[in-house]
């Protein structure tokens, strides 16, 4: 039986003879409740169902702009026509189609007024799930059958969908496209493979049936919701499944992608010792990074549940709310299409930690920084191919001096586990490779958390921000391979190598060669890359100002630990 349905009448104690004519507005078509009313006998035997042309026009418009709700509404209309053919209802289309001016005035309630006018002219009962429409109808003297929205899965019983037939215990995601076989990613985070499920192609009817079934279940299930709906695209969260349905013109064909978390882990399931766990308890600006499918979201969910167990107030901020977290953790998304609006509200909630999935655009980085500077502990998810790349995405968006106040820990996830942990600290010193103590400046040190080894230095040099790798990994090429490569690039035969002594001063760099090369023209190289051509003085020196192009270039190459040498021109 349909729950929470009540007849609203114009006045208390007023008894009217119930009409067998019912006018449907768009709300009971778009949510499919009219079919439930008919099936459960709530409207009597063989009721007369009147569908205003205004409702049909709205459904047609939504379908034409590729809104999934339009396709669902169209499917409900088709079902009503079938019930009419089976003599279970009497179906009639009434009223006129709205004009362009009336459509423009729809947000002001003009179309709803026309539906009420149609109801009055046909001496019928208005069926609606829109409370405002129902209350205005009562005021105008109409009989109103108000149907409250309800969920058919309130107890979270198991879902029954065609889409789920493509999943097994090892399936991470399913990919369906019209006129192609179904594919699935199977395995575990960081260790998956794309497999063809079967050789049968997905027919146009099958993929439409799957899409409509998904939308119907999402709208009826209290634990599911439509996350994003645009022209040609809809993103739905159906329980633990994130489902993306795309259509032309956004995609070249109809496609359905369904993703689910394969595992739910605790923090203790990861490679975390007591020292690192203590770090996570005290860290307040954390970046969790890795490539797509590496297991970042699974780790963040485990971290969120860990903070909850530490009696912290934890919230999430997600563009698509698909983190599998405890019910006590409220998941927020964009408010009126803006994360900035969400941030304004979230700050008033006063969380101890916020899981931000994912930090991608400049606005996202600004929101993350604003939360950190407001004293909120943040865990940001960032797509990157290495731990330092995640930090580099903040460069240029945030002042260098503020960086350690915003980010203190970087966790790189690879293959579903923690691969590297870096910590950030600000200090004042002479950067590595510099000799003059007068060149001391604020330097952001990036160290490996486990070994405390200095991995990178970040500092300002002129107008540039330098990220200097300390003791970088050696190249896999041999020196003779470099020589051959240099010869190929320059198109010249191998020449005698000239070693250079470098002296870095406050405002200049001096390159010194052996006295026998005095007054000769030479080519300066960094590793095997040609930098510039110059002439040695009688003292066998080249004196470069740090204010000119060549001087700045040489200093950059020194900071990158490249080998500087020369050859005769």
The end-to-end CA distance of the chain, in Å, is 92
Q: Are residues 427 and 495 in the same domain?
A: no
Instruction: List, for residues 541-563, the tens digit of each pLDDT value.
Output: 888 887 777 888 888 888 788 88
Q: Are residues 326 and 231 in the same domain?
A: no
Q: Are residues 123 and 173 in the same domain?
A: no
Last residue of a domain, one of 448, 469, 490: 469
Tokens of 292: 């797509």
User: Tell me, what CATH number does 100's domain have?
Assistant: 3.40.50.1010
User: Is residue 153 domain-resident?
Assistant: no
Q: What is the pLDDT of residue 490?
A: 32
Cα dist from 201 to 160, 183, 206, 211, 471, whole Å: 22, 10, 10, 16, 54
What is the pLDDT averaged over residues 482-501? 51
pLDDT band at 471 (very low <50, low <70, confident <90, very high): low
Q: Are residues 456 and 528 in the same domain?
A: no
Instruction: List, for residues 217-257, the tens digit of each pLDDT value.
Output: 887 777 788 888 888 888 888 888 889 999 988 999 999 99
Contact at 8 Å (CB) between 431 and 453?
Answer: no
| Cα gap 220→322, rounded to integer Å | 18
Residue given tokens 């009721």 in the structure block: 47
User: Is residue 158 domain-resident?
Assistant: no
Q: Which letter, b or e, does each residue of 395-415 get, where b requires 16 or more Cβ atoms within 10 Å of its Cβ?
A: eeebebeebbbbbbbbbbbbe
Last residue of a domain, one of 218, 242, 259: 259
What is the pLDDT averaged over residues 124-130? 91
User: Is residue 464 domain-resident?
Assistant: yes
Contact at 8 Å (CB) between 340 and 363?
Answer: yes
pLDDT band at 154 (very low <50, low <70, confident <90, very high): very low
What is the pLDDT averaged over residues 23-37? 88
46 φ, ψ (degrees, to nearest 5):
45, 60
Contact at 8 Å (CB) between 411 and 294?
Answer: no
Q: What is the pLDDT of residue 102?
A: 67
Kindly tell me if the per-residue pLDDT of 43 is higher than 50.
Answer: yes
pLDDT band at 486 (very low <50, low <70, confident <90, very high): very low
pLDDT band at 153 (very low <50, low <70, confident <90, very high): very low
Q: Are residues 110 and 177 in the same domain?
A: no
Instruction: List, for residues 256-270, the tens digit of each pLDDT value.
Output: 999 987 777 888 888
Checking DSSP bridges between strand 314-318 and strand 497-499, what pairing results, if any?
unpaired
What is the pLDDT averaged over residues 376-396? 89
Kindly tell me if the per-residue pLDDT of 18 is higher than 70.
Answer: no
Residue 423, beta-bridge partner list: 409, 447
547 φ, ψ (degrees, to nearest 5):
-95, -5
Tokens of 260: 């689910």
Q: Are residues 131 and 44 in the same domain?
A: yes
Last residue of a domain, one of 225, 259, 293: 259
Q: What is the pLDDT of residue 413?
A: 92
Residue given tokens 């010194």 in the structure block: 512
Contact at 8 Å (CB) between 562 and 539?
Answer: no
Q: What is the pLDDT of residue 445?
A: 94
What is the pLDDT averaged over residues 348-371? 89
Residue 535 belongs to domain spanning: 479-568
| Cα gap 487→248, rounded to integer Å | 52
Q: What is the pLDDT of residue 150?
A: 47
Maximum mean pLDDT: which of 471-480, 488-497, 534-543: 534-543
Contact at 8 Å (CB) between 411 and 289?
Answer: yes
3-state secondary structure of 402: helix
Q: Are residues 507 and 440 in the same domain?
A: no
Q: Are residues 273 and 417 in the same domain?
A: yes
User: Is residue 155 domain-resident?
Assistant: no
Kindly tell me if the per-residue pLDDT of 475 is higher than 90.
Answer: no
Kindly tell me if the per-residue pLDDT of 491 is higher than 70.
Answer: no
pLDDT band at 360 (very low <50, low <70, confident <90, very high): confident
Average predicted confidence (pLDDT) for the chain: 83
Kindly tell me if the per-residue pLDDT of 6 is higher than 60.
Answer: no
User: Is residue 389 domain-resident?
Assistant: yes
User: Is residue 156 domain-resident?
Assistant: no
Q: What is the pLDDT of residue 124?
A: 92
Q: What is the pLDDT of residue 159?
A: 67
Q: Are residues 47 and 24 in the same domain?
A: yes
pLDDT band at 93 (very low <50, low <70, confident <90, very high): very high
Q: What is the pLDDT of residue 472?
A: 55
Q: Are residues 238 and 301 in the same domain?
A: no
User: Tell me, what CATH number does 283's domain have?
Assistant: 3.40.50.300
Q: Are residues 113 and 175 in the same domain?
A: no
Checking DSSP bridges between strand 90-94 and strand 48-52, what pairing results, if any?
parallel
Cα Rg, the chain, nearest whole Å: 33
Number of domains observed in the structure of the chain? 4
Q: Are residues 255 and 271 in the same domain?
A: no
pLDDT band at 7 (very low <50, low <70, confident <90, very high): very low
User: Is residue 152 domain-resident?
Assistant: no
Kindly tell me if the per-residue pLDDT of 473 is higher than 70.
Answer: no
Kindly tell me if the per-residue pLDDT of 476 is higher than 50.
Answer: no
Q: Which residue has the higher pLDDT, 538 or 485?
A: 538
Q: What is the pLDDT of residue 83?
A: 93
């Amino acid at each position: 039986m349909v729950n929470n349905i009540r007849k609203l009448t114009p006045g208390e104690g007023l008894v009217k003879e119930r009409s067998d004519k019912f006018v449907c507005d768009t709300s009971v078509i778009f949510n499919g409740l009219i079919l439930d009313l008919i099936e459960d006998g709530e409207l009597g035997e063989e009721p007369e169902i009147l569908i205003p042309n205004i409702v049909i026009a709205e459904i047609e418009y939504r379908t034409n702009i590729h809104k999934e709700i339009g396709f669902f509404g169209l499917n409900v209309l088709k079902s009503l026509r079938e019930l009419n053919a089976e003599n279970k209802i009497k179906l009639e289309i009434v009223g006129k189609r709205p004009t362009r001016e009336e459509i423009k005035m729809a947000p002001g309630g003009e179309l709803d007024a026309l539906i009420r006018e149609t109801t009055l002219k046909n001496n019928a009962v208005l069926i609606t799930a829109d409370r405002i429409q129902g209350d205005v109808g009562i005021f105008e003297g109409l009989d109103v059958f108000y149907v409250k929205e309800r969920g058919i899965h309130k107890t979270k019983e198991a879902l029954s969908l065609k889409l789920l037939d493509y999943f097994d215990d090892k399936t991470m995601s399913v990919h369906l496209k019209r006129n192609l076989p179904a594919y699935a990613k199977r395995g575990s985070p960081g260790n998956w493979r794309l497999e063809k499920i079967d050789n049968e192609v997905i027919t146009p009817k099958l993929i439409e049936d799957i899409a409509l079934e998904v939308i119907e279940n999402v709208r009826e299930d209290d634990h599911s919701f439509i996350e994003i709906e645009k022209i040609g695209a809809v993103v739905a969260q159906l329980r633990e499944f994130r489902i993306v349905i795309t259509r032309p013109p956004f995609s070249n064909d109809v496609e359905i992608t369904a993703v689910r978390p394969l595992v739910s882990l605790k923090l203790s399931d990861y490679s975390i010792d007591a020292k690192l766990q203590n770090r996570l308890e005290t860290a307040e600006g954390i970046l969790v990074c890795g490539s797509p499918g590496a297991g970042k979201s699974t780790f963040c969910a485990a971290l969120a549940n860990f903070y909850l167990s530490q009696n912290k107030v934890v919230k999430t901020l997600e563009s698509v709310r698909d983190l599998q977290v405890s019910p006590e953790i409220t998941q927020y998304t964009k408010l009126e299409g803006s994360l900035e609006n969400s941030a304004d509200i979230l700050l008033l909630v006063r969380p101890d930690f916020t899981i931000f999935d994912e930090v991608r655009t400049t606005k996202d980085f600004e929101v993350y920084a604003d939360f950190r500077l407001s004293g909120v502990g943040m865990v940001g998810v960032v797509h990157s191919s290495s731990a330092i790349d995640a930090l580099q995405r903040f460069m240029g968006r945030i002042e260098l001096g503020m960086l350690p106040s915003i980010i203190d820990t970087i966790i790189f996830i690879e293959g579903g586990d923690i691969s590297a942990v870096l910590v950030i600290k600000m200090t004042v010193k002479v950067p590595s490779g510099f000799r003059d103590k007068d060149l001391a400046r604020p330097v952001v040190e990036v160290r490996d958390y486990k070994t405390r080894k200095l991995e990178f230095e970040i500092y300002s040099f002129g107008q540039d921000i330098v990220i200097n790798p300390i003791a970088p990994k050696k190249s896999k090429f041999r020196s003779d391979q470099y020589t051959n490569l240099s010869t190929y690039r320059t198109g010249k035969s191998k020449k005698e190598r000239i070693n250079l002594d470098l002296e870095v001063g406050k405002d200049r760099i001096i390159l010194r060669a052996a006295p026998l090369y005095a007054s000769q023209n030479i080519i300066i190289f960094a590793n095997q890359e040609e930098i510039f051509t110059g002439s040695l003085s009688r003292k066998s020196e080249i004196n470069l100002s740090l204010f000119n192009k060549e001087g700045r270039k040489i200093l950059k190459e020194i900071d990158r630990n490249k080998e500087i040498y020369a050859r005769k021109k």
